């Protein structure tokens, strides 16, 4: 068997096998999932090594009556993402071993393995049709993942919301794929890349549709609204896996493919993509800043960080694209780690409300240290990995000459750090509530993947030489882009000092917020939340005035009532009115048939006369 198929086929068939295992059987499902994901990771590492050596293995088979090919290709970029998908699948399988609040374990691991198989297939697809096959499969398991996380109706509603939003955007993606394939006369991405499509007419429309599909998968504004709801209505294990890691990896991967590999974008489209990235950064981080729920706060940051990735790729500059890809990897690392800390706190303390938490550092020191490292990384504090990926995005934005995008990214960094100062202070420091005195550290199975991800925040930092030179730079080369300067390394330039200023401002803001809130860390955002201009905007946001799905669904009853009335009117015009007319005529005719021969002869005579006159008139 081709080793590239192992990360697809092994999880696929193992997921089916898990369904045969009784829910009452202990540890078999968990151990099987860990063994499968570990094997898939090892195969992915071998594939990555082969790609580093220039061995881009391909599989091509006739498919769909030879209208397209089932085409898989492990080039450097896809092999790098494949290894990342396999790593996070293994870590979630381990993390979930002792995590009870994930729904029925059999269905959880079934969804986990199937999602891994489909994500691996989507990443390695060299045919747009093949990619769609795996991509759409992920949509089904997104629904089941959320719906089966809990037994209440809220999880079912959120699952439906996630499904509907992604289904609509996936229709856009399908249409974009059809347009792209038609214009290029092939669905093979490698062949399209040899003669990239130029934006004009239908090509522009096709790219925009692909952009919508990629952004929705990554969780960008305005297609992100299901993610905060999932944070409340699903498990931390799901959030650590899909919104934090898998969706970001797949969505941003395809965005890079479409924007650099398949199409040749112009300055106008670059501005559009960067604007979407900047809006995603600001809007989501503003919402994150005022949240009082641990997981919901993290979910908005998962959206906000997507903005940096989109902004970096939208610059169309090698430095910015490198930053977008590196930030994609870094975000998956520290965001998954942060959701794992949230799950550990939820399991041990029994709540996600930061207003009810506090002083847990002494009870859960390993979780607390992992949180601090990951929070510093996502906030872009040197020398951790997030600093270096954000630095590349900043430089790429400045290279475009549009300083406003750089300012938006820096404002996002300020609010990100301010949010995590509030969250960390509220949960792990300050006064500990009496009811949390007996809280203990999370089990080893939950601590191991959390600590490993925190370790990666350190390992990918300090100049980021290994991830940039081994993973990002070769991936850029696959996309046909070669940076003109060294991407890795620590640069003590103006951007560094700007980051220091942003850190100091965020710390000062937190101190001011805590002081104004009467030394209550969970209320450290109130001075901004309730500011004269921002308060009504936040109130509108909390009432879901900016949630497109909510607005549409609220209009559904009124629309359905209107359509029902129109339907009844049409029924009356097409059914009731003709029927009543014919019945009336029939009744009158029936009454006229009284058996009188004289009447019948008179009617016949009148008919003959009328016919003769009619014929005569025609002549």
pLDDT value for 507: 95
Predicted TM-score (pTM) of the model is 0.88
pLDDT of residue 559 exceeding 70: no
Q: Which domain holds residue 453?
A: 265-546
pLDDT(518) > 60:
yes
Mean pLDDT of 321-338: 95
Confidence check: pLDDT of 383 > 60:
yes
The predicted-structure confidence for 346-366, as pLDDT tens digits, reads as follows 999 989 999 999 999 999 999
Q: Tell me: do 519 and 594 sit in the same domain.
A: no
The answer to whether residues 386 and 460 touch, using CB atoms and an 8 Å cutoff, is no
Domain boundary among 483, 511, 546: 546
Mean pLDDT of 138-149: 90
Asked whether residue 490 falls in the same domain as residue 607, the answer is: no
pLDDT the model gives residue 21 = 83
Q: How many CB atoms lie within 10 A of CB 122?
A: 28
pLDDT greater than 60 at residue 619: no
Q: Which of 185-199, 270-284, 569-583 has the lowest mean pLDDT?
A: 569-583
pLDDT band for position 614 (cuts 50, 70, 90): confident
* Model pLDDT, residue 334: 95
Exposed (0-12), middle (13-18) or buried (19+): which is 22, by Cβ within 10 Å? exposed
Give the end of a domain, one of 488, 516, 546.
546
Distance between CA atoms of 152 and 160, rounded to whole angstroms? 13
d(CA 408, CA 321): 17
Answer with the residue of higher pLDDT: 255 or 99. 255
Residues 393 and 418 in one domain: yes
Same domain for 506 and 601, yes or no, is: no
Does 32 reside within a domain?
Answer: no
Per-residue confidence band for 412, with pLDDT thresholds at 50, 70 and 90:
very high
Q: Are residues 415 and 317 in the same domain?
A: yes
4 closest CA partner among 54, 59, 85, 77: 59
Taking residues 112-120, report their average pLDDT.
Answer: 95
**Is 76 a domain residue?**
no
For the ranges 189-193, 368-372, 432-436, the maximum mean pLDDT occurs at 368-372
pLDDT of residue 592 exceeding 60: yes
- pLDDT at residue 557, as a whole number: 67
- 289 and 303 housed in the same domain: yes
Lowest mean pLDDT among 55-64, 108-117, 490-499: 55-64
Share the mean pLDDT of the chain: 89
* SS3 state of residue 68: strand
Q: Are residues 535 and 589 in the same domain?
A: no
* Residue 66, pLDDT score: 59
Tell whether the model's pLDDT for residue 303 goes beyond 60.
yes
User: Predicted confidence band at 70 (pLDDT cuts at 50, 70, 90)?
Assistant: confident
Tell me, yes or no, whether 38 lies in a domain: no
Work out the average pLDDT over 66-93.
88
- Tell me which of 483, 514, 546 is where a domain ends: 546
User: Can you read off the two tokens belonging to residue 243?
Assistant: 């919104």
Task: Indicate whether 82 belongs to any domain.
Answer: no
Min mean pLDDT across 185-189, 248-252, 290-294, 478-482 is at 478-482
Residue 595: the pLDDT is 67
pLDDT above 90 (res 540): no
Structure confidence at residue 47 (pLDDT): 92
Percent of the chain with pLDDT over 70: 95
Report the pLDDT averaged over residues 19-27.
Answer: 81
- Confidence at residue 26, expressed as pLDDT on a 0 to 100 scale: 78
pLDDT of residue 64: 61
Q: Residues 233, 150: contact at Cβ < 8 Å? A: yes
Nearest C-alpha neighbor of 419 from the set 558, 241, 277, 300: 300
Q: What are phi and psi of 188, to 5 degrees?
A: -80, 120
Over residues 170-191, the pLDDT tens digits come to 999 999 999 999 999 989 999 9
Do 558 and 427 fall within a single domain?
no
Judged against a pLDDT cut of 90, whether residue 115 lies above it is answered with yes
Is the confidence at residue 591, as pLDDT, over 70? no
In a domain, 381, yes or no: yes
Per-residue pLDDT at 505: 96
Same structural domain, 319 and 296? yes
Asked, for residue 259, whether it belongs to a domain, the answer is no
Would 189 be classed as within a structural domain? no
Q: Give the number of domains in the chain.
A: 2
Q: Domain for residue 154, yes or no?
A: no
Same structural domain for residues 516 and 587? no
Pairing mode, if any, of strands 58-63 and 68-73? antiparallel
Residues 515 and 608 occupy one common structural domain: no
Average pLDDT for residues 232-243, to the nearest whole number? 91
β-partners of residue 578 are none
Same domain, 341 and 364: yes
Following DSSP, what letter does each residue of 269-318 receive, concatenated? HHHHHHHHHHHHHHHHHHHHHT--BHHHHHHHHHHHHHHHHHHHHHT-SH
Helices (H), 53-127: 76-95, 105-124
Task: Using the predicted structure, report yes or no on whether residue 556 has a pLDDT greater than 80.
Answer: no
pLDDT at 215 (0 to 100): 94
Give me 324's structure tokens.
């977008």
């Amino acid at each position: 068997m081709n080793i590239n198929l192992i990360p697809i086929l092994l999880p696929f068939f193992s997921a089916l096998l898990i369904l045969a295992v009784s829910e009452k059987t202990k540890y078999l499902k968990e151990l099987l999932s860990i063994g499968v994901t570990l094997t898939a990771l090892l195969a992915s590492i071998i594939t990555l090594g082969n790609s580093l050596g220039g061995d881009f293995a391909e599989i091509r088979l006739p498919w769909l009556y030879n209208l397209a090919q089932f085409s898989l290709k492990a080039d450097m970029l896809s092999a790098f993402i494949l290894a990342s998908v396999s790593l996070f699948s293994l870590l979630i399988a381990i993390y979930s071993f002792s995590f009870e609040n994930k729904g029925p374990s059999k269905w959880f691991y079934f969804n986990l393995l199937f999602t891994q198989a489909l994500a691996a297939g989507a990443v390695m697809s060299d045919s747009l049709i093949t990619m769609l096959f795996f991509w759409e499969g992920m949509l089904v398991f997104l629904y089941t993942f959320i719906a089966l996380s809990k037994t209440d109706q809220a999880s079912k509603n959120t699952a439906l919301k996630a499904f509907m939003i992604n289904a609509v955007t996936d229709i856009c993606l399908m249409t974009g794929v059809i347009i792209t394939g038609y214009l290029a006369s092939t669905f093979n991405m490698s062949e399209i890349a040899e003669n990239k499509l130029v934006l004009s007419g239908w090509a522009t429309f096709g790219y925009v549709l692909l952009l919508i599909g990629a952004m929705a998968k990554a969780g960008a504004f305005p297609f992100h609204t299901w993610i905060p709801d999932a944070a409340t209505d699903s498990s931390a294990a799901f959030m650590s896996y899909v919104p934090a890691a898998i969706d970001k990896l797949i969505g941003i991967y395809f965005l890079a493919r479409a924007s650099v590999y398949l199409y040749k974008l112009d300055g106008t489209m670059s501005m559009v993509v960067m604007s979407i990235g900047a809006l995603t950064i600001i809007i989501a981080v503003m919402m994150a800043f005022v949240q009082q729920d641990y997981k919901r706060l993290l979910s908005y940051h998962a959206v906000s960080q997507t903005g940096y990735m989109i902004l970096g790729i939208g610059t169309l500059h090698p430095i910015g694209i490198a930053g977008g890809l590196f930030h994609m990897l870094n975000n998956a690392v520290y965001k998954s780690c942060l959701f794992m800390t949230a799950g550990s706190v939820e399991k041990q303390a029994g709540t996600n409300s930061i207003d009810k938490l506090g002083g847990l550092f002494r009870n859960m020191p390993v979780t607390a240290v992992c949180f601090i490292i990951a929070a510093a990384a996502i906030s872009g504090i040197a020398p951790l990995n997030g600093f270096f990926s954000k630095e590349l995005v900043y430089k790429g934005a400045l290279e475009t000459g549009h300083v406003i995008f750089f300012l938006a990214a820096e404002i996002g960094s300020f609010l990100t750090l301010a949010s995590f100062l509030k969250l960390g202070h509220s949960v792990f420091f300050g006064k500990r509530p009496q009811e949390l005195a007996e809280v203990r550290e999370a089990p080893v199975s939950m601590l191991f993947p959390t600590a490993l991800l925190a370790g990666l925040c350190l390992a990918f930092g300090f100049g980021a030489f290994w991830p940039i030179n081994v993973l990002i730079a070769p991936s850029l080369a696959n996309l046909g882009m070669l940076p003109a300067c060294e991407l890795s390394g620590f640069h003590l330039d103006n951007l560094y000092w700007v980051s220091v200023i942003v850190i100091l401002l965020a710390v000062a803001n937190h101190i001011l917020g805590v002081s104004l809130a009467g030394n209550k860390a969970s209320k450290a955002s109130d001075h901004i939340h309730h500011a004269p201009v921002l308060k009504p905007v936040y109130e509108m946001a909390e009432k879901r005035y900016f949630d497109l799905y909510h607005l549409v669904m609220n209009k559904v009853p009124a629309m359905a009532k209107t359509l029902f009335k129109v339907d009844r009117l049409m029924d009356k015009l097409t059914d009731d009115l003709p029927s009543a007319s014919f019945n009336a005529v029939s009744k009158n005719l029936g009454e006229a048939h009284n058996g009188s021969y004289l009447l019948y002869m008179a009617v016949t005579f009148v008919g003959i006369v009328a016919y003769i006159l009619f014929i005569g008139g025609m002549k």
